[in-house]
Amino acid sequence: MSEKLKQLKTLLAEVADLNAVQALLGWDQQTYMPQAGGEARGNQLATIGKISHEKFTSDVIGKLLGDLENELNGADPDSDDLRLLNITRHDYDRATRVPSEFVAEYAVVTSKAFEAWMEARGKSDFSIFQPHLEKVVELNQRYVTFFPPADHPYDVLLDQFERGMKTADVKAIFNALSPQQVELLRAIAEKPQVDDSFLHVEYDEKKMWDFSEVIATKFGYDWERGRQDKSAHPFSTNFSINDVRITTRYEPDNPANMLFSTMHETGHALYELGGNPAYERSPLAGGTSLAVHESQSRMWENLVGRSLPFWEHFYPEFQKLFPAQVGNVDLQTFYKGINKVEPSLIRVNADEATYNMHIMLRLELEIGMIEGTVKVKDLPEIWNTKMDEYLGITPPNDAKGVLQDIHWSGGALGYFSTYALGNLVSAQLWEKITADIPDLEDQFRKGEFSALLAWLREKLHVHSRKYKPQELVERVTGSRINSDAYVRYLKNKFGEIYGL
Amino acid sequence: MSEKLKQLKTLLAEVADLNAVQALLGWDQQTYMPQAGGEARGNQLATIGKISHEKFTSDVIGKLLGDLENELNGADPDSDDLRLLNITRHDYDRATRVPSEFVAEYAVVTSKAFEAWMEARGKSDFSIFQPHLEKVVELNQRYVTFFPPADHPYDVLLDQFERGMKTADVKAIFNALSPQQVELLRAIAEKPQVDDSFLHVEYDEKKMWDFSEVIATKFGYDWERGRQDKSAHPFSTNFSINDVRITTRYEPDNPANMLFSTMHETGHALYELGGNPAYERSPLAGGTSLAVHESQSRMWENLVGRSLPFWEHFYPEFQKLFPAQVGNVDLQTFYKGINKVEPSLIRVNADEATYNMHIMLRLELEIGMIEGTVKVKDLPEIWNTKMDEYLGITPPNDAKGVLQDIHWSGGALGYFSTYALGNLVSAQLWEKITADIPDLEDQFRKGEFSALLAWLREKLHVHSRKYKPQELVERVTGSRINSDAYVRYLKNKFGEIYGL
C-alpha cells in the first residue's frame, strides 16, 4: 500500500471512531440516559460532531484524495482501494461544498422549525408550521446550488440518502407502481375484511420480549456482538461490526408490534453484522444506502416474519405463550390478522399493501416544493386530496394529515422515498433468493433461516458500501430497482389472503 | 469577562465534553457493551483520549494561560476566575511536561505489565511480574524528573491524585495512626469474635437490589439525574452534573455487599451531584481529589450505613424482606455482624478497623521503591513480614499477598494512600457535622438524611475542584488532614461492639 493511502486510512479511521462515538451518545440518550442529562448530551454531541466534521474536511484529506486519485488512475475500477477513494471523494465533496455559515443557519432554522412543528401538530394548526417549512424549503433549494448542476435539483437531495439515485428514476419507478397498487387496494376493499381483534388485547410484555429475542436468535442475530434494549422509537445502531445493537418497544394498543419491530431492527442489524470486516473504520463500512438497509429490515419483518411458512413453525409456540389471546384463533385466521390491509391515515402504522401510497404522496409533494410547483401554503389541501385519491380516506385534521411526520421539521427532504424503495428491493431480492434456494419455505417451516442469511451475507451484506445502491441491486438481482417483483409479491400474497 | 478568558473557557468546555464522552465509553464498556465490542472500543477510547490530549495541550491554551496569568495578576486569590486559571495551569503543566515518547513507552510497558501481572497472579508466581514491575518503577522514577525538584520524589506521584499533598505529610499522618490502630486491633483480637454467619447465606438478588435503591433514594440520590446498573466492579461515573451514575454487583458469598456497595457509590455520586453548576464543562468541575471523594463514599457507607441509628430505623424493613436470613437475628447481633473486625489477607475485603493497615503497608513499599531503598525482587518477603507485623497473618502465597492489587501493573504509584486518607477525612468531617447537627443520630433513627446531605452540599460539595484537598479540609473542619478523629471514631465504635 502506498504511504499516502496508509496515511489517508489512518485519518479516516479516526473520523470513523468519532462517528461511532456519536452513535453511542445517541444510543445512550434513547435508552438509559437519565432525564436531566439531555442538555449536557447536546453539548457532547455538538462537540464530537464539530471535531468529526473538522477532521474529515481537513485540507490534509483533500490533498491526499487529489494525490491518490492521480496515483490510482487506471487501477481496477472494482478494487477496494479505488472504491474507497471514490466513496471518500463523494462524502468529502458533500461535506466541503456546503459553507459553514449555511450549516449554522440550517441548524438554527431547523431547530426553530422543530419547535414550531411540535406546537403545530399539538394544536393541529398548519399555519404555525407554514413559515418555518417555507424557510426549510428555501434552504434546501439553496443547498442544491452548492453542487454541480444535476438533471433535476431534487437529485442532489436524493443523493444524500441514495448515492447516485436520480429523480427521474424514482419517478419512473413510482409511476409504474402507483396504478397497480391502487388497483390492488380497490380490489381488496371490495372483499370482506379479515379479523385482527385478537391482536388488540393485552399481552404480557415480558413474554413478548422473550419471544422476540428467540426469533432474533433464530434469524441469526449474534448476542455476543449485539443486544436489545427498550426505547421510545425502535432503532438499530452500531459502533463497530462487532457491536450492533437493536431496540424495541411495547405499545399497549398493539402489543405484537414489539415482535415485528424486533424482526425489523434485527434485519437492519444482520446487514451491518454481515459487512466486510476489512472495511472497518473506513467510509466503506456500513450499509450502502437507506433503501438497501430498509430492504433488509422489511424482508425479515414482512417476507419472513409475516409469512405463512414462518408461522406454521412458530404459531404453536406462540399459542402456548398466549393461550388467552390466541388459544382459540386458528393459524389461518392469525396469519390473515397480522396481514390485514386497511387504508389508514398514519404512515408508520400502514400495512404492506398501503405503505407505499403514503410514500408516493410525500415524494410528489417534496419534488413539487423543490421545483416550486407546490406552494407550502397549499400543502394541507393537496395532502387531503391525494389521500382521498390514493387511499380513499380524508384526514379529519392536519395533525393526522400533513403534520404527522417529523422529517420536514428537521430539514430532511429526499428521505421518504427510501422507505418505499426498500420494499421494492426486498421483493427483487426475494425472487432471486427463492430461485437460488427452492426449498426456502420448507426451511422456514422447520424454523431454519441460516440458508437465507448465508445467501444475504455472501451476495449482499459483505459488500458494505463498496457499490452504489442501484449498482449493488443490479449486481445481485440482474435488474435495477423497479416495482415488478413487489407488485407480483403483493398480488400473490394478498390475492390469497383476500381471495381476489 | 475578558475576551481571552471567554476564549479559554470555550476551549476547555470542548475538552470537558471529550472527557465526558470518554467516561461514557467506559461506562458502556463495563455495563452493557456486548462481549465482542472490546477491540473497537479500545480504538474509540484511544482516539478520544488522543484528541482530548491534543486539544488540551495546544499552544493556544498555553498562550492564553500565560496572558491571563498576567491579566489576573493581583486578583482576589479566591475568585473563581483565578482559581480556574490555577487549576488549569496545574493540569496543563502535568499534561505538557511529559514528552509524548514517554507516554507511548509508558503505555507499552504497562500493557505488558498488566498481562504479566494477570499471569503471575494466576500462577501465584511473583517472578513473572518482577521484571515488568521493575520497569514500571523505573518509568515512575523517570516521570518524576520531568517536574521541578520536589521535597521528595514521591511528592510528584502523589500530586497526580491529591493536588498539593506531600510525602512528608502522608508519612506523618500514618506514623501517628499506625501504632494506635495496631493497638486497637490487638485489643479486639483478645475479645470474643462477633457472629456474622447470617451474612454468608443466600439472599434474593432482586430484593437486595430494590432495597439498595430504596436506601440510595433515602440518602438523597436523584434518579432523574442518575441511575444504577450492574457491573463486575462497582463504580460511579458522571458525564455532567446532571448525569451521575452508579453501579453495583451481587456476590453470592457476600450478598449484603451489594447494599453497602450501593451506599458507597451513592456517596461518590452525591458529591458530584452537589457540585457548583457554574463550574460545568471546566476544570473546576468534579471532586477535588480521590481522598475527598473517598471521604464521601466511606461516610455514607460506614459512618451512616454501618451505624446503629441507621439500622434502628431500617432493620425491621430488612428483616421483613429477608425473614429466613435475619428473622431471628436481633438488631444488636446484626449490627455487630456488619461491623465484624477480622484481620484478612485481601485489602478490598477488609473491614473499617483493618483497612488502613493494608494501605500503610503499600505506601511504605511504594515510597521505598521510588527512593530505591526497596528492591522489587524483595517485595514478597517484605510484604509478608509486614502483614505479620501489622495484622498478625501471613499470606499462604503471593496471589493473596503482593500480587493481589491491579494498581502497580497499570503503572499507578501514589494512588493507594488516598483510600486511607479518605477514611481519615470522613471522620474529621463527621466530628464537625455532629457538632453542627446535634440530633443527627435521631434523624437517622427516623430514616432522615436530608440535613446531613444539605450540610455536605453547602460546606463541601459546592466547592467542586476550587480548593486543593488539604485546603478544603482545613476550610471545612478547621484542621488539615490527620488521624485523630478517625482513631477516636474507631475506638468509640469498636470499643462498644467488642466491649473493650
Decide if B21 touches A, using CB distance below 8 A. Answer: yes
Q: Give CA–CA dist A435/A431, Å, rounded.
A: 6
* Closest residue to A40, CB basis, from B36, B47, B242: B242
- The pLDDT value recorded for residue B349 is 87
CA B319 vs CA A406, B315, B323, B328: distances in Å: 52, 6, 5, 9
Exposed, middle or buried by CB within 10 Å (0-12, 13-18, 19+), for A108?
exposed
| Residues of chain B with C-beta less than 8 angstroms from the C-beta of A44 | 17, 20-21, 24, 239
In Å, how far is A92's CA from the nearest CA of chain B? 21
User: What are residue B244's phi and psi, to 5 degrees?
Assistant: -120, 110
Closest residue in A to B12 (Cα–Cα) = A47
Q: Give CA–CA dist B296/B419, Å, rounded.
A: 11
Decide if A216 touches B, using CB distance below 8 A. Answer: no
Q: Give CA–CA dist A84/A12, Å, rounded.
A: 10
Closest residue in B to A42 (Cα–Cα) = B17
| Residues of chain B with C-beta less than 8 angstroms from the C-beta of A56 | none
Kind and range of the H or E run holding A230: strand A228-230
Closest residue in A to B239 (Cα–Cα) = A40
| Residues of chain B with C-beta less than 8 angstroms from the C-beta of A14 | 47, 51
- The pLDDT value recorded for residue B462 is 98
In Å, how far is B145's CA from the nearest CA of chain A? 33
* Cα end-to-end span (Å), chain A: 61
CB contact under 8 Å between B41 and A239, yes or no, is: yes
Cell of B327: 428473622
* DSSP of A340-397: -----S-GGG--TTTHHHHHHHHHHHHHHHHHTSS-GGGHHHHHHHHHHHHHS---SS
For the beta sheet containing A236-240, the strands, ordered from the edge strand earlier in sequence to the opposite edge, are A228-230, A243-248, A236-240
CB contact under 8 Å between B33 and A243, yes or no, is: yes
Decide if B132 touches A, using CB distance below 8 A. Answer: no
Report helix, strand or coil for A246. Answer: strand
| Residues of chain B with C-beta less than 8 angstroms from the C-beta of A18 | 47-48, 51
What is the pTM for the complete model shown? 0.94
CB contact under 8 Å between B24 and A20, yes or no, is: no
Q: Are A280 and A240 in contact (CB under 8 A)?
A: yes
CB contact under 8 Å between A40 and B225, yes or no, is: no
- At position B381, the amino acid (one-letter code) is E
* Tens of pLDDT, residue by residue, chain B (500 residues): 799 999 999 999 999 999 999 999 999 999 999 999 999 999 999 999 999 999 999 999 999 999 999 999 999 999 999 999 999 999 999 999 999 889 889 988 998 999 999 999 999 999 999 999 999 999 999 999 999 999 999 999 999 999 999 999 999 999 999 999 999 999 999 999 999 999 999 999 999 999 999 999 999 999 999 999 999 999 999 999 999 999 999 999 999 999 999 999 999 999 999 999 999 999 999 999 999 999 999 999 999 999 999 999 999 999 999 999 999 999 999 999 999 999 999 998 899 999 999 999 999 999 999 999 999 999 999 999 999 999 999 999 999 999 999 999 999 899 999 999 999 999 999 999 999 999 999 999 999 999 999 999 999 999 999 999 999 999 999 999 999 999 999 999 999 999 99
Active-site residue set of B: 265
Q: How far is residue A348 CA from its own chain's centroid?
A: 12
In Å, how far is A240's CA from the nearest CA of chain B? 6
* Tens of pLDDT, residue by residue, chain A (500 residues): 799 999 999 999 999 999 999 999 999 999 999 999 999 999 999 999 999 999 999 999 999 999 999 999 999 999 999 999 999 999 999 999 999 899 889 988 998 999 999 999 999 999 999 999 999 999 999 999 999 999 999 999 999 999 999 999 999 999 999 999 999 999 999 999 999 999 999 999 999 999 999 999 999 999 999 999 999 999 999 999 999 999 999 999 999 999 999 999 999 999 999 999 999 999 999 999 999 999 999 999 999 999 999 999 999 999 999 999 999 999 999 999 999 999 999 998 899 999 999 999 999 999 999 999 999 999 999 999 999 999 999 999 999 999 999 999 999 899 999 999 999 999 999 999 999 999 999 999 999 999 999 999 999 999 999 999 999 999 999 999 999 999 999 999 999 999 99
* DSSP of A132-183: HHHHHHHHHHHHHHTS---SSHHHHHHTTTSTT--HHHHHHHHHHHHHHHHH
CA A400 vs CA A390, A454, B494: distances in Å: 16, 42, 70
Size of the A and B interface in Cβ pairs below 8 Å: 121
* Closest residue to B21, CB basis, from A14, A21, A222: A21
In Å, how far is B315's CA from the nearest CA of chain A? 30
Q: Give CA–CA dist A38/A28, Å, rounded.
A: 11
Decide if A29 touches B, using CB distance below 8 A. Answer: no
* Closest residue to B227, CB basis, from A32, A39, A225: A32
* Closest residue to B34, CB basis, from A18, A20, A243: A243
Pairing of the two strands B236-240 and A243-248: unpaired
- The pLDDT value recorded for residue B1 is 72
* Torsion, Cα of B24, B30, B35, B36 (10° steps): 30
- The pLDDT value recorded for residue B348 is 87
Bridge-partner residues for B246, per DSSP? B228, B236
Best residue of B229, B236, B239 to probe chain A, by most A CBs closer than 10 Å: B239
Q: Give CA–CA dist A358/A464, Å, rounded.
A: 29
| Residues of chain A with C-beta less than 8 angstroms from the C-beta of B216 | none
CB contact under 8 Å between A40 and B243, yes or no, is: yes
CB contact under 8 Å between B37 and A239, yes or no, is: yes
SS (H, E, C) chain B: CCHHHHHHHHHHHHHHHHHHHHHHHHHHHHHCCCHHHHHHHHHHHHHHHHHHHHHHCCHHHHHHHHHHHHHCCCCCCCCHHHHHHHHHHHHHHHHHHCCHHHHHHHHHHHHHHHHHHHHHHHHCCHHHHHHHHHHHHHHHHHHHHCCCCCCCHHHHHHHHHCCCCCHHHHHHHHHHHHHHHHHHHHHHHCCCCCCCHHHHCCCCHHHHHHHHHHHHHHHCCCCCCCCEEECCCCCEEEEECCEEEEEECCCCCCCCHHHHHHHHHHHHHHHHHCCCHHHCCCCCCCCCCHHHHHHHHHHHHHHHCCCHHHHHHHHHHHHHHCHHHHCCCCHHHHHHHCCCCCCCCCHHHCCCCCHHHHHHHHHHHHHHHHHCCCCHHHHHHHHHHHHHHHHCCCCCCHHHCCCCCCHHHHCCCCCCHHHHHHHHHHHHHHHHHHHHCCCHHHHHHCCCCHHHHHHHHHHCHHHCCCCCHHHHHHHHHCCCCCCHHHHHHHHHHHHHHHCC
Q: Give CA–CA dist A397/A46, Å, rounded.
A: 36
Q: Give CA–CA dist B235/B242, Å, rounded.
A: 17
